[in-house]
Structure 1
Amino acid sequence: MISQEDLYKYLLNENWKEILDFLYSERENIKNDTLLTFASNTFVSEFLQKVEKYSINQNDILEHLITLNILHHGRFYILTNDQHTKLTVEIAKRKPIEEAYNYAKNYPEDDFCKQIISDFNLLQMKKGVSHEKNKEKKVSLSIEIYNRLFELINNQADTSTYFSGPRFINTVRFFSPYFPTYPQYIEKRNEEGKSTSRKIFYYDILKDLDENISLQVIRRILEITKPFENHKVEYIEHLLNGQPLQKVKNSEQIEDNVSAGPVVFISYSWDNEEHKDWVLKLANRLSDDGVEVILDRFYLRPGANLQYFVENNLGRAHRVIIIFTPNYKLKADKRTGGVGYEYSIMNVELYNNMTKNEKFIPLLRKGNMSESIPTFMQQFIHIDVTKDENVENSYNDLIREIYNEPEIKLPKIGKKPNL
């Protein structure tokens, strides 16, 4: 670990990057070590004092300022109100007027911020656009953008990118100060009988916010997480900017095997090698027919987080194929293993789709309905794939269901005949 003496050497030599790295990497030690806490406070004060002498065109200084801002909003190193005001002003000085305004409006009583706000409004008037009518490009919060955003901020093992409920709402309140606090919001959700699942209420918040504020919240989250998940953030930024997926550069990313067709999650039990092979062949055939298949064997490696995989991908899928066998029912009923966890997560949507199921496709592979299908799921019509000799007919029913192309379609009602 870097000592207090090393920190002061960095400070003397104005090695700002090294000290910022220290504030992040040693965040827990700083909280528990009085000397390191004092040294860190000294660094922040000195940095914010000396930053005024640097040219506003010095890009590395702007990067350091933004990094310190990220550390503050990520609650890795908390600045005082005066320090954060100073930091915000210094960032605003180095940003184009449109971006500077977004920082300045957080401290409208500061003299410099007042000037930026005034200059920004004057610029809008010259363009013939009043400030009230001036909004950023409308956010189209597509399901894909939101799912990618939630995946980015849902890794609990990574404290740098994970957004708990309070952290997410605090980010919202940064741009909308009168938005309810986390306890107030959850209490309100409970009173209204709405879900308090983070994935659901984060989406509701972004969808219900003013479009301009929603975009600012998303971009702030991306700004905070970019140093840690640069490629994922860049991908979301491309989508927000309306750029086609095929134009996104993936040279350094994990290649995305994303099709324009439906996304299907397959839930099944690892009964034996024969059954696993049958499921794998089904997944490959669906892929050949334009379906993006989410199958555990395609993605999971030893040491992977199964719960994280299930939570994120079940929500991303348009349809869920459940392959029933006696062993599947046993695990689902007892809530054991991966099947038990998947079925627990699916239960919420199963109840929501009780009267009109448009997501889950039950397949009966082994046994009969009573011994292979959990009781609640028995009310849904299933596709029988127990007989291999009828596999083509069964597959035809399945692929038509996935693409919502039924073989027998509702006829159009014609005109009354002349009688």
Structure 2
Amino acid sequence: MISQEELYQYLAKEQWEELLDILYKHKEQIKNDALLNHAAKTFETEFLRKTQGYDKSRVEIIKYLEKFILLHHGGFYKLTDENYKILVIEIVKRKKLKEANDYATLLPNEEICKKVISEYNFFKIKEEGFKLKQTNKLPMNWIEIYNRLFELINNQGDPATYFSGPRFIDTVRQYEPYFPDYAQFINQRNIEGKSTTRKIFYYDILLGLSDEVRIKVVNRILEILKPFSKDKVLEIENIIEDRKPISKPEPELISDSRRPIVFISYSWDNEQHKKWVLDLADKLCADGIDVILDRYYLKPGASLPHFVEDNLNKADRVIIIFTPNYKLKADKRAGGVGYEYSIMNVELYKNQTSNEKIIPILREGSAEQSIPTFMQQFIHIDTRNDENFLNSYNDLIREIYNEPEIKKPIIGTKPLFG
């Protein structure tokens, strides 16, 4: 048990590490005791106020700040919104550019965070170049569409419709804000020995954008051109519309570019549990889902943090298989489970009201025994009864493909009353 007086004694001596340990170890007592909760809030405010005055050479301070943010994201201690903002900004100020950028993305609208994100993206462009990638999701007659579009934007005698290099790239930057500006892009093309002819590099840019951004850029250009070349714009729009994919009868063969990507997070409880998870992953693969499972990819010497961060970001959905051992490791932030859970908690914190990514599965124990407190607010799929597995699996596969079993009917019209 901890007393209010002890908290204030630690506070007076600025024993920050001890106070942070107390917030974690005595979280339930602090939550349920009004006096302790008040003392904890006093520590929260005082710590952040004094932190802002500490010299950046005090390397231990960043350790305390990061521990505080983990407590918050892990649901062990809830900071006020204002103090959370102060905490993130203070970490951003003290971290080197790459790590500062990771934290800045938590508050992208704050001025200092905007500045760090912009600097980091400029650094990446300078060091690595903007990575354009060839896409697989193009209309069959994309070359015809592009040639028609370029013909309309290539009339140098018409300033309303002519798209110079800077104007074209500025249009792209409306939807891809960290795309290099015109001077940066041309310099990069020259370094790479690639053509700076407008028709060629416009084409390369559009092909290298994500499908969503490319569509927005093309539609924006067509919107600008329409008042001046309505008939020709309509021809392009009709070609695009004619090439929409035709729905196929079930079962549908899914192209690689449209397969849902699912990351599975679980603990290695025992051989039986590992086999159950592997069987689940194999079954999902057979049903057209690209599964990321550690046992498929990780080999001795591989970097676990790199594997987790890279693939959690890549995944469309994340399946967490909860057992008592998973909860124990998640709460202690132990091993791979602890690392995965810390990253996923940040995602959930940012989207508490609309979790569209994480699918909780209860495999063993009760919800209280197996699911960390913060995650208990989300509806889980119960797979504890093996005899009912197919029903549970059906719920899971429908959720991944966003094909609910029960759909709300179309709202009809008001009936006539006699």
Scaled by the length of structure 2, what TM-score is found? 0.45
Structure number with higher relative contact order (C-alpha < 8 Å, ≥ 6 residues apart): 2
Q: TM-score if structure 1 supplies the norm length?
A: 0.45
